Structure 1
Amino acid sequence: MKKRIIILGCVVLAVVIAWSAAWVVLSGLVKDNIEQLANADGVTTPRIACETLNISGFPFRFDADCVNAEIVSGDFTVTTPGIRASIRVYAPTHLLASAKGPLHLTDNFTGTRNGVDWSTLEASIRLDNWRIARASVSGADVVWTDTLFGNSVIAQSPLVEVHLFDIPEQHNAEAKTAALAGYVRAQNAAWPGLTLTDASAEVQVELSGLPDDVRNWDNPLLLQSMQQAGGALKIVAIHATDAAATLDASGELTLDAQGFPEGQISIKSTGVAERVGPMIAEPWRTLVFGTPAPDGSYANQLNFHGGAISSGLVPIATVHPLF
């Protein structure tokens, strides 16, 4: 009996030592891969650099802590005090992440500077055979400011959520395409520039024709492949409201062979045209929202075709092809 216990103890010790060595090797690989992101050109591929990068979480997690992170993509530069990403050994396809605020965004082309702060910001991404099963981002006490001259609040909300869900019935294994449902919600939001207070908004969309392998999403021909696969952006519902106004929209957009948006978006509103009056001069306000009905409500349809946006049959703007 004593001999068996000794043998069992030796086996357990060997496993612990082997896993400890494997964890050290794997954590080194994780660190090397993250550090390689700092060598990207920041144009075709975003460049992500950390002032300090630490890997922890032994024995069952890999926690990557990026202190004073900087992300550069084209003209945009984003900085944040810290980003943490975690993967558990027993759930390797499920990424958990969080970030510290405030985030600073600089557009070097326009010169604009914005800041976003929060009390908590958490994200979760779960993959199923390299297809997104679910992705979520949730922020509490979110405040968006213009930091070019001081700190002027643009908008704020105690809760902002963004979710993506796989739509299994639209997965085409033969064509290797997938579809995602998106849901965005903001509660009790305020936007001083639009005199919005205690406003709430919900957005529900569906996007089809996506590659079912997220590793192919950086393909420069992504939009062309989605167009050829019959992909579409379906605006299931947009609903926004505050004490004095409501806005509802729905519709569907595809891309034609030349890369121009094709489809319609229907808009219904009450009190919104009056709210944005100082910012959208006539006749554009009427061309977007329509003419008021006897009850004060507005309804209109925006049509996209051949590179033009029309209000009913009246052309009001042009758009560039997306590919």
Structure 2
Amino acid sequence: MSEDSVRDGIGGEAARGRVSRWGLFLPVAALVLLVALWTGYWVFMHAQVRDGLAAWRAAEQAAGRTYACDRETLSGFPFRFELRCTSLTFADAAAGMQAKVAGLLAVAQAYEPRHIIVELSGPAQVDTETGDHATASWTLLEASLQFASTGLKQVSVIADGAALDATTRDGIAVKGTAAKLAAHARQRPDQTAVAPFEDIEIALRADAVSLDDKSDPWTGALDGLATEVPPLVGEAPDLFRTWQIANGSFDLTNFSLTDGNTSVSGTGHLAPTATGTVSGAFAVGLATARPPTPDDTPTLTQQYLALLHTAGGFLGREAKVGGVDGRMVDITIDDGRVSLGTMQIGVLPPLF
């Protein structure tokens, strides 16, 4: 073998050694760079969340609403952002109300920071300056918030095993339980409202709800569309006034309520008026599969339904309600004046 061949062989081995070492170092260097970039992103977003919370709290405090935690942490590195708050208290000076919740956990994945899951730990207590008091508990209370560049896009709240024990300022006790409660609201995909106003689809569900220990639990559902809804910032009277100026309205596309024997359903339309009240019309169906007997113990809810059913017998028309023969009655609201058929039955207070 010639000397040149030997040198070529040695040089080739050295070159292959350099190539193999680069092949080892490049993935490691890329991984280190990726970790550094991800860490920088997480630290930046952590600061954004912290500053955003501080700005939001300052704005709320300026409006007379304060939030405080006994202990608060913002963590979750490397893949999540977690806000933990123990003994959360909320006070609204304008409403004269104070509330307390055992704990709050808000979580967002670092790769999807606009989707936030919030879980509240019970029990919760609410007290008012006028003497009203309420305690609520649950096995699960969770909310899902989805944001877009223009703001909140969709929200869902679900409560399992909910219970309420309240006492009004007049000493009236109100107790209730529910196997499941759900509320959903989202921007209508094909909305016609112009920003900052929105068309919002609403869906409410309630399963096995009981307001006392004597009546059968009931199940209910409500679906509707609120148009030209203004940004939910400010006091309620101002929001209703802005909603009216924008020609907003609410369409009740479906309402149903049943306890297995009595069924109520309805559809309708409602809109605020320039005088600060509301006008609208609803078609309400009522049906009873089994008439009440003398052995039944009437509850407050059953008494109201019986009253409507009796009125429907005089003022309504025959119709199928929940698959059962029943009566359909018309309820109209003219500038706050509520009428059942042709008979006025009450006046609603103004919204603003």
Q: Which residue of 1 aligns with 2:340?
A: 311
Query: How far is the alpha carbon of 1:275 from its aligned partner?
Result: 4.5
Pair 1:140-2:160 in alignment: yes
Q: Which amino acid aligns with 2:254?
A: A
Kindly report which structure 2 residues correspond to 1:67-216, keeping only aligned pairs within 5 A, or say none. Answer: 67-73=86-92, 74-109=95-130, 111-130=131-150, 132-146=152-166, 154-173=175-194, 176-192=196-212, 195-211=214-230, 216=231
Aligned equivalents of 1:88, 1:16: Cα separation in 2: 17
Distance 1:267 1:289, change over 3 A: farther
Q: Which residue of 1 aligns with 2:253?
A: 236
Aligned equivalents of 2:168, 2:306: Cα separation in 1: 29
Pair 1:249-2:266 in alignment: yes
Query: How far is the alpha carbon of 1:249 from its aligned partner?
Result: 2.2
Structure 2's unaligned 5+ residue stretches are 1-18, 293-297, 319-324
Q: Which amino acid aligns with 2:125?
A: H
Query: Which of 84, 99, 105 lines up with 1:65 in the alignment?
Result: 84
Query: How far is the alpha carbon of 1:279 from its aligned partner?
Result: 6.7
Aligned equivalents of 1:145, 1:36: Cα separation in 2: 35
Query: How far is the alpha carbon of 1:85 from its aligned partner?
Result: 1.1
Q: Which residue of 2 aligns with 1:226?
A: 243
Query: How far is the alpha carbon of 1:254 from its aligned partner?
Result: 0.7
Pair 1:321-2:341 in alignment: no
C-alpha offsets along residues 157-211 of structure 1, whole Å, 9 cap, x if unaligned? 22111111332222344x6543122111111222216x43232111111111124
Determine if contact 2:193/2:199 at 8 Å carries over to the other structure: no
Determine if contact 2:263/2:286 at 8 Å carries over to the other structure: yes
1:64 counterpart SS class: strand
Query: Which of 44, 49, 52 lines up with 2:71 in the alignment?
Result: 52
Aligned equivalents of 1:235, 1:76: Cα separation in 2: 31
Aligned equivalents of 2:234, 2:60: Cα separation in 1: 16
**What is the TM-score when the length of structure 2 is the normalising length?**
0.76
Q: Which amino acid aligns with 1:292?
A: G
2:53 counterpart SS class: helix
Query: How far is the alpha carbon of 1:7 from its aligned partner?
Result: 4.7
Distance 1:131 1:29, change over 3 A: closer
**What is the TM-score when the length of structure 1 is the normalising length?**
0.82
Distance 1:250 1:25, change over 3 A: same
Range 223-232 or range 178-187, more displaced: 223-232
Range 115-124 or range 175-184, more displaced: 175-184
Determine if contact 1:287/1:311 at 8 Å carries over to the other structure: no
Aligned equivalents of 1:189, 1:286: Cα separation in 2: 21
2:241 counterpart SS class: helix
Distance 1:217 1:80, change over 3 A: same
Aligned equivalents of 1:277, 1:240: Cα separation in 2: 11
Aligned equivalents of 1:275, 1:266: Cα separation in 2: 24
Q: Percent identity?
A: 19
C-alpha offsets along residues 68-122 of structure 1, whole Å, 9 cap, x if unaligned? 111222222221111111222222221111111111122222x121111111111
- Count of aligned pairs: 311
Determine if contact 1:288/1:302 at 8 Å carries over to the other structure: no
Query: How far is the alpha carbon of 1:42 from its aligned partner?
Result: 5.8
Pair 1:217-2:236 in alignment: no
Kindly report which structure 2 residues correspond to 1:242-281, keeping only aligned pairs within 5 A, or say none. Answer: 242-270=259-287, 275-276=299-300
Query: How far is the alpha carbon of 1:143 from its aligned partner?
Result: 1.2
Determine if contact 2:286/2:309 at 8 Å carries over to the other structure: no
Structure 1 outlier segments of 4+, above 6 Å: 277-280, 293-296
Q: Which amino acid aligns with 1:161?
A: A
Structure 1's unaligned 5+ residue stretches are none
Between structures 1 and 2, the one with greater helix share: 2
Q: Which amino acid aligns with 2:250?
A: L
